[in-house]
Copies of this chain bind each other. A is one copy, B any other.
Amino acid sequence: MTAQKVNINDIAKKAGLSITTVSRVLNGKAEQYRIGKKSQEKIKKAAKELNYVPNQFAANLRSGRSNTIALIVPSLNNPFFAGIASKINSEIRKYGYITIIGDSDENQEIEKMELLQLMSRNIEGLIIVPCGDQWEHIKQLYDNGLPVICIDRYFEDLDIPFVSTDNYDGAYSATKLLIEHGHRKIACIQGVQKSTPNRLRIKGFRDAMNEAGLSDFSITGDDFSIQNGYLETELLLQQKNRPTAIFSLSNTIAMGCMKAFREENILIPEDISLITFDDHPYLDYLATPLSCIAQPISDISKIAVKFLFSKLEDHEIAAKQVLLKPKIKYKESVKRII
C-alpha cells in the first residue's frame, strides 16, 4: 500500500554507521554521546535524502513517551467548550505534543469509556472538564502519577489541580448589577446542577439576592443547552407575575431565552432584562447587545497547558488550583427599572 517507509536502518546503511548512532544524532543526543561532527553530518544528510519520518509508535514503545495529551470535554457542540478545545489544541502543539479530544456528551459512563480508550494510547497527561460528580476514576489516574488538570469544572475537595473562572464572583457581581438596576424579581436559569461552576454560580446568585434582602427569585433548569433555556423561559413567561430580569448561566441557555422571547414578542430590555454567562463575538450585534460575564477562555486554556507541562517536565508536584476573575460586560440588555 503505502510506499515502503524508510527507517533508521536504511539511514544507518547509507551513512555507514550503526542505528545507535543514527538514533542519537537524530534525537539531538550527539554531543552527549560524543558523536563526531562528520558522522552527524552524514546522518542528517542521509535522513533528509531518504525523507525519513520517525515512527512514533516504535519510539514510544521503547521510551514510554507518547507525546500525547488527552482532552475531554462534556460537549463540543457547546461553543464554550469548542473554544477551549481549539485553544488547548494549539497550545499543546507548541510543546510538540498532540491532543486527542474526547467528548463525554455530559454522560459519565461515556467519560469513563473514553478515558479507558485514551489510556491505551499511553497519554502523558489529561486535561478534563469532568461531566459529573463522580471523581474516583479521575482521582485514581491522578494518584497513579498521571498529570491531570481540571478546567472549568472541578472537584472542590480534591487536590487535583484546576483552572477555572471565579464563578461565585461572576454570578455575585452579575446579580448585583441587576439589583443595582432596580430588579427585585429575578429568575435564574441554570445548567448541569451537580457541576461545580453551576453550584458556585447559584451560590453567588443566592448570596447577592439574600444580602439585598430579596427573596423573590427562582432557580430552574438543568442543562447547558439551547433547549433548556428555551423551555424554562417559556415557563417563566407563562407566570402571571413575571420576573423583570433573567440571569442565564450560559451562552447556550441565553440563546434559548432569546428564542422564547422572540416567539412571545417579548422585547429586551423593555419587557425583560437579560444577562448571561459566557461571551461571544456575536453578542455585540444582537438586536439588543447582551450583557455578559466573560470567562477568560484563552487564559484558562493557556494556564492549564502550562501547569500540565511544568508538571511533566519538572515533575513539580505542587497542586495548583486557580480561579480567574471573569469580566462583567455591561450592555443594553439590562435596563434600569427604578
Contacts and interface: CB of A to CB of B under 8 A. Distances in A.
Please state the number of chain copies in the assembly: 2
A16 interface: no
Given A93-B103, A287-B285, A61 B55 contact: yes
Contacts of A98: 100, 117, 121
Contact of A58 (B61, B85, B281): B61
A2 B57 CA distance: 19
Contacts of A90: 76, 103
A66 interface: yes
Contacts of A45: none
Contacts of A286: 282, 285-287
A322 interface: no
Given A2-B144, A282-B280, A56 B287 contact: no
A107 interface: no
A244 to B, nearest CB: 20
Nearest to A85: B86
A57 B53 contact: no
A116 B56 CA distance: 12
A119 interface: yes
B120 A54 contact: yes
B57 A61 contact: yes
Interface in A245-261: 255, 258-259
For chain A, the bracket of interface size reads: 35 or more
Interface in A1-46: 1-3
Contacts of A93: 102-103
Interface in A305-326: none
Given A259-B285, A282-B286, 13 more contacts: A2-B145, A2-B146, A54-B120, A58-B61, A76-B86, A76-B90, A89-B101, A93-B102, A93-B103, A99-B100, A99-B101, A258-B285, A262-B285
Interface of A: 1-3, 53-58, 60-61, 66, 76-77, 79, 82-83, 85-86, 89-90, 93, 98-103, 116-117, 119-122, 144-146, 226, 255, 258-259, 262, 280-282, 284-287
7 contacts: A57-B61, A76-B89, A98-B121, A99-B100, A255-B281, A262-B285, A286-B287
The 4 tightest CB contacts between A and B, nearest first, are: A76-B86, A282-B282, A1-B145, A57-B60
